[in-house]
A = this chain, B = another copy of it.
C-alpha cells in the first residue's frame, strides 16, 4: 500500500525524521529511564535550549511542558485569573478557551471578531486580568496579523496577554515585548505524536499559583531544574529535543519562507479553481498554516477522492463539516508534497 501523506490540521504528517528518532528512542531506553535522573534532565534542557533558539526567546520568559494545549488554556486561566479574563473569539478554539474560563467560574468577557471586524475594534472595559487570543483559528483558517496583536498589547499594556499559537508555531516571529504567555502543541507544526504541549511565560507571572499541581509556580519551580511535577511524557520530550534541533539545522527563517511559498501555491490555485474558494476573503487574515476552502457541499467527495490517492486532508470544522476542506501547511509538508496535492486536486477538478 502506498504510504499516506497527512495534510490534516493535526495530528498530521510526522516530521521527516520523527520515525527515525522514535526508533532511536527505543535503542536508547528512553521509555525506561527515570524522569528524576541526569539523562532525562539533559534531554529536558536540550529541548528548552532549542525552543528558546527557535522562538528567539529573551531572558524575561521561561518555558515548561504540559500534556495538551487544552490543558495549557486551563492552567493559564487558573494561574492568572481570579475574577475575569477577556477573550477575542473568532472560531471554535478561541471560543473553547472562553467557555473554559466560564466553566471555571470566571466572569469572563469576550469580543467576537472576524475578517470584517478586527480585534482593534474591541472595547475592553472593567480591566480584566488577562487577554486571551488565538493566533490561528484552525476551525476557519483565519490568522491574526502579529502587528494587530502588538497594537492590542500597546493599547492595554498593563494587562498580560496570552497567545495561542497551537497551529501556527513555528511560523510567527514573535516579539516577546508584547506577548506575556504563549503555548502550542507538538502534533501540529512540529510533526510529532500528540500528548505534549509547550508553555512560555513571562517571569513576571511564573510564580502565580492556583494550588494545582500544574499551576505556574509548581510547573516552573520544577522546569528550572529540568524536571516536571509529574512523571511526564518522557518520549515526547525526547522527540521534541531531537526535532527542534532539526528545525534549527534547517533554519527557522527558511522554514517560514517555505510556508509562505507553499501557502501562496495553495491560495493561488484556489483563487480560480472550480473546487472552491478560500473561506477567508481578506488576504491579510488568511492562515498560512491551515488553508480552509469552501467547497460547497462536496467535502466528502473531495476528501474521499484524495484519500484514494493517499492524500489525507481535513474536513470542515463543526458547522462547516460538509462544506469546507482544511489543508495543513506545516514545516514537514514539503513544497513538492504541496505541488503533488495540488496536482491531484486539479485532476479531481477536471473530472467535474
Contacts and interface: CB of A to CB of B under 8 A. Distances in A.
Interface string A205-248: 00000011110000000000000011111111000000000000
A185 interface: yes
A194 B34 contact: no
A304 to B, nearest CB: 14
Interface residues of A, number: 52
Interface stretch (A21-29, A115-123, A174-182): A21-29
B192 A31 contact: yes
B32 A195 contact: no
A48 to B, nearest CB: 18
Contacts of A31: 11, 14, 18, 22, 187, 192-194
B34 A232 contact: no
Contacts of A233: 67, 193-195, 233, 236
A327 B233 CA distance: 23
A193 B11 contact: no
A231 B32 contact: no
A103 interface: yes
A100 interface: yes
A35 interface: yes
A11 B195 contact: no
Contacts of A29: 4, 6
A114 to B, nearest CB: 25
A70 interface: yes
Interface string A52-95: 00000000000000011111011000000000000000000000
A11 B26 contact: no
Contacts of A187: 31, 231
7 contacts: A11-B35, A11-B231, A31-B193, A68-B231, A71-B230, A73-B213, A195-B195
Closest 10 CB pairs of A and B: A195-B233, A68-B230, A67-B67, A31-B193, A70-B230, A6-B32, A103-B211, A193-B235, A194-B231, A104-B211
